[in-house]
Amino acid sequence: MQADKPTIIPQELAGLGCRFVQQPGAVPMVHAQVDARQWRAAATAVAASGGRLVALWGTDRRGSGAGHAVAAAYALGPTLVWLDLALPLLPGSAENAAPEGVDTGPGAPEMPDQSYPDLAAIFPCASRMQRAVADLNGLHAVAATPDSGTALPVDRRPWLRHAAWPADYFPLRIDAKAEARYAATDERYPYVRVEGDGVHEIAVGPVHAGIIEPGHFRFSVVGEKVLRLEERLGYTHKGIEKCFAGMEPVQGARLAARVSGDTSVGYGWAYCAALESLSNGAVPERAVWLRALALERERVANHLGDLGALGNDAGFAFGLAQFSRLREDWLRRNHAVFGHRLLMDWIVPGGVRADPGTDALRALGADAGVLGIELARLATIYDGHAGLQDRFAGTGCVPEALARQLNLTGMAARASGVGSDLRAQAGFQPYRDLAFRITRYTAGDVAARVAVRFAEITESLRLIRAITASLPAGPVLEPPGMPQACGRAVGWVEAWRGEVLVALELDEQARIRRAHCHDPSWQNWPALEYAVVGNIVPDFPLINKSFNLSYSGQDL
């Protein structure tokens, strides 16, 4: 382990009595080992002070003589707090034993080495993450013994595991063989039924009627009106986290860039930032600025695509034609300057792959100016089009209180009045030097999410012009040294959809023990279920597109 730096104890957590250690790296991050009591007390304290649950994941450390562990990452102001709950290593728990009675209800498994206190009662967004931990690591959230009243039942249905592998195979355990193959079994997933006169179900997916990712939506409707939506995801689960296990950390960057193809810059940067923190490598300043350039170009490309698709979903094909043209121009420029239309693998550990050079940077700045003019023209048309605004306004609403309760993140949160953006936080370079301006709308409907996209493109174009005009000179790549064995670090980046977190933990040989990639969609998918209630079925595609959440990023 590295020498402990002066420790900042987050004030909100000072009463816990655990020892916080500041971690190296660009992200202001503290780490602490907690026990089960502190695990829950910390969640309560974070929730009380307006903090957010960013991610929750499981790790198998039995290869190092320890036991299983669960980890939670919280955002407390500008600080990321990584809490680690090590579960005891009991005799026999070294085997990949199937827990008995996996589905026997809340509080059931009396296995101190494979269970931990539930957080979903405090942070609703934890529920699916805990179900994923149960599927992948075989560690189970257990409801608190209530001091008063009754504990909320823990949702114990599988989340990422469908019929493709058995309930006693836990892929992220060290003794689970990646190459294991199981025949698919018949499967019945217990959707929540809505009963009542005239209620019927509409089942959609996993294969959707468009060029989009697969997932299943179960609507309970009366006539046209949606009473309830239940999402079922996990169809694109392809074992990404198992692929990471045992890899050389430097090789992981390529995989991280493919967690979600629309966010390859976001994941690439987050992964490399985590790795660089463990290699004591200082990324050249010019490379940091160029990474931000790529991040903003990725944001613009995605927002352009969404604005076109949103127009189209409201019956305005002109919008799709115009915005898809602008997006294509943008991607072709990406190819010309960065060698890849979606900017994959341009961010590498230690910096970026190549310096675009002065001429190319000047062209990018000019591009941004031209796009700004085009965008303003189209914004006038979108704003003034009565039919379009009629479909957008008041549709798919997520009020601010709900957004906060669900820990909504990113672009969607900024449309619901939650003014949170990592780029605006202290220390996130180069945004501090660029005087980044946060976008915030309050209505929380499709119209607000459209408005946020227009405003964010405008701000990104300003950033791109500023970066291309004034980025510091110097090298763009400083190959990182050997990463620290047994080290842990995070990368935390405000990608176009929201905050992307990569938590990286290395083993004794400095290979990857655990790389957890967390997509903002984990937080935002549940909000979509609320947003569609009371809307009509034909508005679902529009509402869904206005969030544009990732399947691959959350299915892993």
Partner 1 sequence: MTWRILKQIARVGNISEAPPQPAAPSGATGDPAVEAIQRDILAILGRAVAIRAVDAGSCNGCELEMQALSNPYYNIEGIGIRFVASPRHADLLLVTGPVSAHMEDALRRTWDAVPGPKRVVAIGDCGCTGGVFGESYASRGRVANILPVAAEVSGCPPAPLDILRGILSALR
Contacting residues toward partner 1, per CB under 8 A: 162-165, 169, 171, 176-182, 184, 206-207, 209-214, 234-240, 242-243, 254-255, 258-262, 264, 305, 318, 321-322, 324-325, 327-328, 331, 335, 341-342, 344, 377-378, 380-381, 384-386, 550-552, 555
Identify which of residues 487 and 541 has a Cβ nearer to partner 1 in the complex.
541
Amino acid (one-letter) located at 192: V
- CB closer to partner 1 out of 38 and 552: 552
Identity of the residue, 328 or 478, whose beta carbon is nearer to partner 1 in the bound complex:
328
Q: Which is nearer to partner 1, 258 or 462 (CB)?
A: 258
Q: Are 214 and 207 in contact (CB under 8 A)?
A: yes
Which token pair is 61?
Answer: 């450390």
**446 near 313, Cβ under 8 Å?**
no
- CA–CA gap between residue 487 and residue 280 (Å, rounded): 11
Q: Is the CB of residue 280 less than 8 Å from the CB of residue 481?
A: yes
- CB-wise, 242 or 440, nearer to partner 1? 242
CA distance 513 to 249: 10
223 conformational bin, left if phi > 0, alpha if psi -120 to 50, beta if neither = left
Query: Closest CB to partner 1 among 32 and 371?
Result: 371
Contact 509, 64 (CB under 8 A): no
How do 79-86 and 68-76 pair as beta strands? antiparallel
Q: In terms of CB distance, is 5 or 335 closer to partner 1?
A: 335
Compute CA distances 375 → 60, 279, 456, 469, whole Å.
49, 42, 11, 21
Cβ distance to partner 1 smaller for residue 39 or 496: 496
C-beta of 447: minimal distance to partner 1 in Å?
17
Dihedral over Cα of 226, 132, 116, 45: its sign: negative
Question: Residue 275 in contact with residue 483, Cβ under 8 Å?
Answer: yes
Quote the least distance from Cβ 107 to partner 1, whole Å: 30
Q: Where are the alpha helices (DSSP H) in 340-473?
A: 358-384, 386-392, 400-405, 410-414, 446-470
- For partner 1, the closer of residues 282 and 320 by Cβ is 320
Give the residue among 86, 81, 93, 89 at the shortest CA–CA distance from 35.
Answer: 86
Residue 171 Cβ vs partner 1, minimum distance, rounded to whole Å? 5
Minimum CB distance to partner 1 smaller for 23 or for 334: 334
Beta bridge partners of 37: none
Nearest to 364 by CA among 342, 333, 339: 333
* Start-to-end Cα distance in the chain: 29
CA distance 483 to 174: 21
> Is residue 375 exposed (0-12), middle (13-18) or buried (19+ Cβ within 10 Å)?
buried
CB of 330 to partner 1, least distance (A): 11
**79-86 and 29-34 beta bridge pairing:** parallel
Closest distance between partner 1 and the C-beta of residue 275, in Å? 17
